[in-house]
Amino acid sequence: MRLLSEPTRLRLILLLNEEELTVAELQEILSMGQSRISASLAQLRRQGIVTDRRVGKNSYYTVVSSLLKSLGEILQKAAEELPEADRDQRALKLVLNKRRDRASEYFEKLAGKFGHAYVPGRSWEALAHGLLRLLPPLVIADLGAGEGTLSQLLARSAKKVIAIDNLPKMVAFGKKLAKKNGFKNLEYRLGEIEAPPIIKNSVDIALFSQALHHAVSPQRAVDAAFKILKPGGKIIILDLLSHTYEQAKELYGHVWLGFSSVELHTLLTKAGFKNLEIQIVSREPQAPHFQTILATGEKEK
């Protein structure tokens, strides 16, 4: 309790309880120097209140939520009395928007051009592994669909495909292409993959194809996929295996440098998925040799 009583540490806990953040992002939110924030995080980490994980050059910090369950009401009251709490929440939203904007800037330039541009992990070999796990006729949510090339393929045999993307240009291009190709079972919707505009318990398959590394919050995206799935429904994630190619953030608008099998297992388990299967399904021959990892899980009936 002494550790939590200091305002800076309390502010850090309230923020990290909301979202996984780097020291640089915390500096921007709190308007504090790195040394002060790092010292506070070190104290919290020694006590097992926060944990960190390395992604390329950055360390992302988060609260060990299981240790704070009993303090939930106390933290809520402390937040109400903390003068900076509202300001911190507004600053947090701005920082998360910056994450999203970095990816958006890249994809805004690519609408209608995916067939002519290189995108890490977009290999037909890897996609085939995911497609083999689909059995028609199904209702499929393609989350982070972009212009929807994969959605178009799925619509050939699926009962219905709902393609979700957060960029108006991508959605507009996808709708135009679907109309041109005569797909009446393919619907494009504008929305975030962390909160897709799809009703609960309504789809058979929730698919992330090279999309999760663009999510502001991968955990919220996987949680949202769990909610929209019918009981017995399945999640399929095709993404890059964790790597250290930092340039991917600038070149391809990536927010996360891929995911390890352990990280994907944790995301899926926290969301409530069972019967998990995770494996590496392809490796690109050219440098930096991106590898694609496939993860699946089921929502219990």
Model confidence pLDDT, tens digit, residues 26-47? 999 998 889 999 999 999 999 8
Which residue matches tokens 């041109």?
Answer: 180
For residue 128, pLDDT over 80 is answered with: no
Closest C-alpha among 169, 190, 23, 7 to residue 95? 23
pLDDT value for 287: 87
Task: Rounding to the nearest 10 degrees, give the CA dihedral for residues 174, 202, 97, 252.
Answer: -50
pTM of the predicted model as reported, rounded to 2 decimal places: 0.67
User: What value does the mean pLDDT of the chain take?
Assistant: 87
Question: Encoding tokens for residue 163?
Answer: 């393609």
Q: Give the pLDDT band (50/70/90) at residue 132.
A: very low
Q: Which residues pair with 195 in a beta bridge?
A: 192
pLDDT value for 220: 96
In angstroms, rounded to a whole number, what is the distance separating the alpha carbons of residues 44 and 42? 5
In angstroms, rounded to a whole number, what is the distance separating the alpha carbons of residues 125 and 155? 19
Which residue matches tokens 């944990």?
Answer: 51
The residue-averaged pLDDT of 229-252 equals 94
The residue-averaged pLDDT of 116-125 equals 64
Angle at which helix 85-108 crosses helix 23-30, to 10 degrees, equals 130
Of 252 and 195, more confident? 195
What structural domains and CATH numbers belong to the chain?
2-108 (1.10.10.10), 119-298 (3.40.50.150)
Q: Which residues pair with 298 in a beta bridge?
A: 234, 274
Identity at 172, one-letter amino acid code: A
The residue-averaged pLDDT of 256-284 equals 93
Question: Encoding tokens for residue 235?
Answer: 């999640």
